[in-house]
Amino acid sequence: MNVLVVGAGGREHALCWKLNDSQRVDRVLAAPGNGGTAREAVNWAVPDDDVAGLVALAKAENVGLVVVGPEAPLVLGLADALAREGIPCFGPCAYAAQLEGSKAFAKNVMRASGVPTADFAVFDEPEAARAYIRKKGAPLVVKADGLAAGKGVVVAASVDEALAAVDDMMVARSFGAAGARVVVEEALAGEEASFLAFCDGENFALLPSAQDHKAVFEGDTGPNTGGMGAYSPAPVLPEDRYAETAELVIRPILKHLKAAGHPFKGVLYAGLMFTAKGPMVLEYNVRFGDPECQPLLMRLDSDLVEILLACAEGRLTPELVQVKPETAICVVLAAPGYPGAYPKGMEISGLEALETGADALPGVKVFQAGTRADGGRTLSSGGRVLGVTALGATLAEAKARAYEAVARVHFDGCYFRRDIGDKGIARGKT
> Where along the sequence are the contacts to ligand GLY (CB under 6 A)?
212, 227, 285, 289-290, 292
User: Which residue, among 290, 291, 297, has the nearest Cα to 208 in the 3D structure?
Assistant: 297
| Coil, helix or strand at residue 57 | helix
Q: Which of 58, 170, 237, 282 binds ligand AMP (CB under 6 A)?
A: 282
| Coil, helix or strand at residue 29 | strand
**Residue 290 partner contact from ligand GLY, ligand AMP, none using kind-dependent CB cut-offs of 5 to 8 Å:** ligand GLY
32 preceded by cis ω (within 30°)?
yes
User: Which residue, among 116, 184, 132, has the nearest Cα to 153 in the 3D structure?
Assistant: 184
Q: How many Å separate Cα 259 from the centre of its chain?
A: 26
Determine if 283 is a binding residue for ligand AMP (CB under 6 A): yes
Determine if 305 is a binding residue for ligand AMP (CB under 6 A): no
Please give the span between the terminal C-alpha atoms of the chain, in angstroms, as a whole number: 48
User: Cα dihedral angle (234, 236, 237, 240), rounded to 10 degrees?
Assistant: 110
User: Which residue, among 209, 196, 201, has the nearest Cα to 240 in the 3D structure?
Assistant: 209
Measured CA to CA, the distance from residue 390 to residue 393 in angstroms comes to 10
Residue among 12 and 185 whose Cβ is closer to ligand AMP: 185
233 preceded by cis ω (within 30°)?
yes
Determine if 153 is a binding residue for ligand AMP (CB under 6 A): yes
Binding residues among 10-29 for ligand AMP as defined by CB under 6 A = none
- Residues forming beta bridges with residue 229, ordered by sequence position: 331
Residue among 9 and 392 whose Cβ is closer to ligand GLY: 9
Binding mask 181-210 for ligand AMP (x = CB under 6 A): ----x-xx---x------------------
CB of 87 to ligand AMP, least distance (A): 30
Determine if 271 is a binding residue for ligand AMP (CB under 6 A): yes
Phi-psi region of 259 (alpha: psi -120 to 50; beta: other; left: phi over 0): alpha
Binding mask 228-267 for ligand AMP (x = CB under 6 A): ----------------------------------------
Residue among 91 and 227 whose Cβ is closer to ligand GLY: 227
**Residue 185 partner contact from ligand GLY, ligand AMP, none using kind-dependent CB cut-offs of 5 to 8 Å:** ligand AMP
Binding residues among 112-151 for ligand AMP as defined by CB under 6 A = 118, 141, 143
**How far is CA 362 from each of CA 168, 186, 236, 390, 424, rounded to the nearest angstrom?**
48, 45, 28, 8, 23
Residue among 211 and 381 whose Cβ is closer to ligand GLY: 211
CB of 132 to ligand AMP, least distance (A): 15
Residue nearest to ligand AMP (CB): 283
**Residue 192 partner contact from ligand GLY, ligand AMP, none using kind-dependent CB cut-offs of 5 to 8 Å:** ligand AMP
Torsion sign, CA atoms 37, 40, 43, 47:
negative
CB of 203 to ligand AMP, least distance (A): 26
User: Which residue, among 296, 411, 211, 372, has the nearest Cα to 11 in the 3D structure?
Assistant: 296
**Residue 40 partner contact from ligand GLY, ligand AMP, none using kind-dependent CB cut-offs of 5 to 8 Å:** none
Determine if 216 is a binding residue for ligand AMP (CB under 6 A): no
| Coil, helix or strand at residue 127 | helix
CB of 214 to ligand GLY, least distance (A): 7
Helix axes 103-113, 251-259, angle to 10 degrees: 100
**Which residues in this chain contact ligand AMP in the complex, by CB under 6 A?**
118, 141, 143, 153, 155, 185, 187-188, 192, 214, 271, 282-283
